[in-house]
Structure 1
Amino acid sequence: MVVRAFAVPTAPVSDAVPRKLGLWASEHMQASAWRVSPGQDISARMHPQADGMFLVLQGRGEFQVFDGEEPEAAGAYVPSAHYPLDAPPKRSLPEPSRYEVGPGMVCMAPAGLFYGLVNTGDEQLVAVAVTASDTSGTAWTVR
């Protein structure tokens, strides 16, 4: 059995898109660290067979849950090895439920519900994303 402990990187980045670092992947769980600059977002995603969560370590943001109206099928896609080359055009999304989040807060979404995280603060947001075992069929939105 492999056991690991990780230091999540928190050094600021100035990338044009959020930076993701895979921490763990097994048949039971996967975890990634995200560094998101002000105004950037972790695109809403939906795992049909797996619950998901974000643990906010640093910064302020908005956890968005599409629990009123699901994004249209054409507004969601399953990425391929060629992403972003084959990503569909950006589309508007329905209005989500919004929850302000900050350091130490945990955001959870059940399987089958689109959810995402937006940096609404003026500093980098650092979060760890954890998803349960079966992530087959995961779809992301495009904004």
Structure 2
Amino acid sequence: MSITRIFNSSQFLQPADGEPIRSVITESQDAVVVAWYVKPGQEISPHLHPNGQDTWTILEGSGKYYLDKAGTMKAIAAGDVVVAPVGCVHGVFNDGDKPLVFISVVSPGDAGYQPILIETTVTLHL
């Protein structure tokens, strides 16, 4: 039995005008490998994986990466490897002028997915 072990990630990138498309490259019980193409102005909403880790390898572009429920963000760019350990909030907003392209590896494959609402403070100006 032959199992594919080498993939050309560019064949999985799917630019979209709506939300970015989660394009699965390969998956097993051990991990899910996903290619992401996030256009300028697009966002992968904040979320967490309650039972696993999500590791991103940024191939092209830049963006602002969500770090917590408070909406704290940090700049990420091509060449970065970004790790969200089990239960850590993460997501990204492409605030640049070029596509943000990265590979995500979620491990284990059944890490789960939970969307997170960012806490906002409303200040009344009288």
Same fold (TM over 0.5): yes
**What is the CA-CA distance between 1:140 and the residue it aligns to?**
1.9
Partner of 1:106: 81
Partners of 2:64 and 2:93 within 8 A in 1? yes
Unmatched runs of 5 consecutive residues or more in structure 1: 71-94
Moved over 6 A (4+): none
Residue 127 (str. 1) matches residue 102 (str. 2): yes
Q: What do residues 85-114 of structure 1 show as CA deviations (whole Å, max 9, x unaligned)?
A: xxxxxxxxxx32322111110111111122
CA distance in 1, matches of 2:84, 2:15: 27
Give RMSD over aligned pairs: 2.2
Q: What do residues 11-36 of structure 1 show as CA deviations (whole Å, max 9, x unaligned)?
A: 78352211221011101111100111
Larger radius of gyration: 2
CA distance in 1, matches of 2:88, 2:100: 23
User: Aligned ranges for residues 66-85 of structure 1 at < 5 Å?
Assistant: 66=68, 70=69
Distance 1:140 1:5, change over 3 A: same
Partners of 1:48 and 1:135 within 8 A in 2? no
The one of 12, 37, 40 aligned to 1:38: 40
Partner of 2:21: 19
Higher relative contact order (CA 8 A, sep 6+): 1
TM-score normalised by length of structure 1: 0.71
CA distance in 2, matches of 1:56, 1:50: 19
**What is the CA-CA distance between 1:137 and the residue it aligns to?**
3.9
Letter in 2 for 1:24: T
Residue 6 (str. 1) matches residue 7 (str. 2): yes
TM-score normalised by length of structure 2: 0.80
Q: What do residues 53-73 of structure 1 show as CA deviations (whole Å, max 9, x unaligned)?
A: 21111111111111xxx4xxx
CA distance in 2, matches of 1:53, 1:3: 21
